[in-house]
Amino acid sequence: MPLPVVTPFGSAISRVTYRQRLAMLSCLVGAVGFSVAASDAKAAQAAASNAKKATASTSHVSSSKQAAPAKKPASSLQARGVEEISVGSSRRQRSGGGGMMRVETAPHSVQTVTKEYIETRSPVSTALDLVQMMPSVNITSPDTSGMQGGQVQSRGFTDRDMGIMLDDVNAGQAKYLAEIIDSENVEEVSMTPGSASRDLPVVSAAAGIVNSRSYLPSHKMGGVTDFSYGTNNLSRQFIRLESGDIGNTGVRGYFSFSHAHARSWMGSGINERRHIDFGLRKDWKNGSNANLFVSWNQSDWTIDNYPTESQFLNYKHTGEGWGRSSHPDNANYWKNNFNHWNQIFLSAPIHIVLNDKLTFHLHPYLTYGQGWSAAPTAQQPDAMGNPQNAVSYFQEHGDRVVGVTASLGYDIDRHNHLSFGYWYNNSETDRSYPTSFVMPGGGAPSPNWGKYRTDLGDRQVAGYETHSLFIQDTAKYLNDKLVINAGFKFVMVNAWNHDYYGRQGRNSTEPLPQLSIGYNIDSQNQVYVNAEGDYRQPTENDMGWLYTNVPILKNQYSIKEELGYRHHNKYFMFDLSLFNYNVTNRVVDEYIGMNNYRPFSIGSQTMRGFDAMIAGREFYGFSPYASVEYLHATQDSNVYDPYQNVMLHSKGTQAIMAPRVMANFGLTYKYQGFFANAGVHYTGPQSVSIAGDQRIPGYVTDNLSVGYHFKPVSFLQSPTIRLNFTNLTSSIVRTAAMGAVYSAKDGATAYVGSNAPATAYGNVFMVQPRFSMTGTVSTSF
């Protein structure tokens, strides 16, 4: 059946207004570029006449992957960019709250957790778990083992509006991070909720960027290993082996492997994951370097059942759960609700210092996924005419993303660093929807097994090709107190979709200007302003859930302004960010089962508010941290509900999945070998339907980590034991909606335990898993 078309109506802010604002922003960027160019000529003459008097020059970095040219040999600690490390200061000196906050200098909002904090968390933590205490995000996870990833809410957006990245490569949706890297190999996680650098290869950055940095191989041969055991029969093993410097080649590398196994926390089900990470680094004495990171992931896990409001309340009051059944003859048997997936990720950036002023950066990347998800469907007659349980599939024959960014960086003078380049990306999904009988004894067979298959299903191929040009200039004046960054990116996209109904295609372009200005009042105080345009383009997976008899969704576009202030001293650090977003063609996603989503447009939205965070330096072993966000997000359009065939009067209501208040408090304590970290997170009430007729109340979650670092024993250099606890209060709360729905009156088929399938209404929810404990022993060697 063709899917309903959703058309936004009643936009509160006209397209002319947005185009005017975009034009003004583009002109402002152009004006700054012109003025910078004019000042460059004067600066060049002044620099030439004063060259002999100059004692130092300021180097400039356009991105975290571009290091400043240097003639001296690279040190053993490699700088990853201007935000990573500075001469005379250590990472620990630049962080507070036990690594939950870091001193930032970029002229836009940046929120970072460092290795100091990451090492206190459980090894099963994903990159999402590591940033859950940041003011701009609400992180929700369906399991305690970290295998199924999770979701992000940020300033009225979701992770599908963000660039979720590893080493400046797009990882797709937030839940996929768990398939790409182990937490032991994550150095830091940074979030820029209001900004995205123009040279990043992203098609969705309306809500900014979450960028994880992978571990750089050690110069010393050795390794790390850990073993974890915990609630829900969780067991996990990890080992990383380091080559150290290989002779005088300047090459070093590592190889790691992990295996995890756990039960589902609600109902029946078994989950398993195998993962490999491989890293290689080559350094040259002039500052050039090359990196290679490759990962492989294989996961087999039970697809959770997500409860409706009535099912959740029934569990809360009676204890009757909504999980999968343990009975093989039941349609909702856990082996009939299964996901099998293989994923490969490759990133290979190369940075070449051509001379003292000119650098070249090349970054090819590849991601490839293949597998299937199964779910119960209506019984079908066998060869004898007897009804048999059956399953339907989403089968991914290959989801491929391949691309490259190339850029030149040039130090025009001691004030200006110019970079410009090109980005190419090709993404495609090849999928089908077959049907099979379940195996004798229950369980979904592979859809490739012909003996059980009853229907091959429709085949669909969707994708897009991106060509993009970008340019940006970073200028520093007044003894580097004033930093101006002006950039522009122009994106050209060719999208296609081919299915049972036929073929369709669309060409689109997006202009993406950016202007940010930062001023250091003194060594402890900074103010900044940032303005930019960003967009969200339907991905190959988005288009894969839309038939070709409806138009491809228009790109979502956001105009964003941000104003910030920072302060730090020897006692604490403080960061305040005020923001305003205007969004047209807002795209949200409906959960359709089997961990898949279908996008639709709901018109215009406005988001405005502020983030504040504060962290204390270590004082008698204690390091406190606190953050808060206030968000006023409104739906600016009435929206047509195709299921009820009515116009929803949603204009002026609270935007869906946009809680007004979020707050966090954390405390870290260290004494000799002992360490502990505790965190409490609050998310306020939020609307979970576009009509505003369904809401969830505010809730509190918590976590605790305690451990001890022992002295070295023989070849065991850092024996450590730690305990990690989540949901200490055993709260039974809904943490987020699985997706967007038009109204609480919309119906869908739902399964609960061994009960027969029934029609349920409204949204379905992710629920905070019950109390869990994970114990870990680890050491380096």
3-state secondary structure string across 332-393:
CEHHHCEEEEEEEEEECCEEEECCCCEEEEEEEEEEEEEEEEEEEEEEEECCCCCEEEEEEE
Please determine, for residue 298, whether its predicted confidence score (pLDDT) is greater than 90.
yes
Question: What pLDDT digit, counting tens, does each position of 154-163 carry?
Answer: 999 999 999 9
Please determine, for residue 89, whether its predicted confidence score (pLDDT) is greater than 70.
no
Question: What pLDDT digit, counting tens, does each position of 48-76 carry?
Answer: 444 433 333 333 333 333 333 333 333 33
Q: Give the model's pLDDT for residue 756.
A: 67
Question: What pLDDT digit, counting tens, does each position of 581-640 carry?
Answer: 999 999 999 998 888 889 999 999 999 999 999 999 999 999 999 999 999 999 999 999
Coil, helix or strand for 27?
Answer: helix
Which residues, in sequence order, are bridge partners of residue 350?
290, 362
Cα–Cα distance, 197 to 209 (Å, whole number): 9
Please determine, for residue 1, whether its predicted confidence score (pLDDT) is greater than 60.
no
**Continuous segment of H or E residues that includes residue 47:** helix 15-49
Coil, helix or strand for 687?
Answer: strand
Q: Give the C-alpha distances (Å, rounded to integers) separating 537 from 2, 469, 507, 759.
A: 22, 17, 12, 33
Distance between alpha carbon 81 and the CA centroid of its chain, in Å? 20
Residue 305 near residue 751 (C-beta atoms within 8 A) = yes
Better-scored residue on pLDDT, 620 or 146: 620
The percentage of residues in the chain with a pLDDT greater than 90, rounded to a whole number, is: 76
Question: What pLDDT digit, counting tens, does each position of 367-389 carry?
Answer: 999 999 999 998 999 888 899 99
Any idea which of 188-197, 389-398, 399-408, 669-678 has the lowest mean pLDDT?
A: 188-197
Token output for 357: 């002023």
Q: Give the model's pLDDT for residue 420.
A: 97
Cα–Cα distance, 307 to 521 (Å, whole number): 52
Token output for 204: 């969705």
Give the strand pairing for 163-166 and 209-214. parallel
If one counts every other C-beta atom within 10 angstroms of the C-beta of residue 82, the result is 20
Average pLDDT (748-761) is 69
Please determine, for residue 44, whether its predicted confidence score (pLDDT) is greater than 70.
no
Amino acid at the residue 684: G
Question: What pLDDT digit, counting tens, does each position of 427-439 carry?
Answer: 999 999 999 999 9
Better-scored residue on pLDDT, 533 or 16: 533
Token output for 430: 């090849």
Question: What pLDDT digit, counting tens, does each position of 492-528 carry?
Answer: 999 999 998 889 999 999 999 999 999 999 999 999 9
Better-scored residue on pLDDT, 363 or 64: 363
Average pLDDT (655-670) is 97
Question: What pLDDT band is residue 17 in, cutting at 50, 70 and 90?
Answer: very low
Q: Give the model's pLDDT for residue 546.
A: 83
Mean pLDDT, the chain, whole residue set? 87
Q: Which of 695, 760, 709 is nearest to 314 (CA)?
A: 760
Please determine, for residue 215, whether its predicted confidence score (pLDDT) is greater than 60.
yes
Question: What pLDDT band is residue 12 in, cutting at 50, 70 and 90?
Answer: very low
Amino acid at the residue 50: N
Question: What pLDDT digit, counting tens, does each position of 103-135 carry?
Answer: 999 999 999 999 999 999 999 888 888 999 999
CB under 8 Å to 262, separation ≥6 — which residues? 143, 144, 145, 147, 232, 233, 234, 235, 270, 271
Question: What pLDDT band is residue 751 in, cutting at 50, 70 and 90?
Answer: low
Average pLDDT (395-412) is 97
Token output for 770: 């019950």
| Predicted structure pTM score | 0.86
Coil, helix or strand for 14?
Answer: coil
Cα–Cα distance, 127 to 173 (Å, whole number): 12
| Integer-rounded Cα radius of gyration of the chain | 26
Q: Give the C-alpha distances (Å, rounded to integers) separating 399 from 161, 201, 343, 563, 616.
A: 20, 17, 9, 39, 45
Average pLDDT (294-305) is 95
Any idea which of 137-146, 342-351, 573-582 has the lowest mean pLDDT?
A: 137-146
Q: Give the model's pLDDT for residue 753.
A: 61
Q: Give the model's pLDDT for residue 92.
A: 59
Any idea which of 245-249, 559-563, 592-596 has the lowest mean pLDDT?
A: 592-596
Please determine, for residue 672, whether its predicted confidence score (pLDDT) is greater than 90.
yes
Question: What pLDDT band is residue 91 in, cutting at 50, 70 and 90?
Answer: low
Amino acid at the residue 602: I
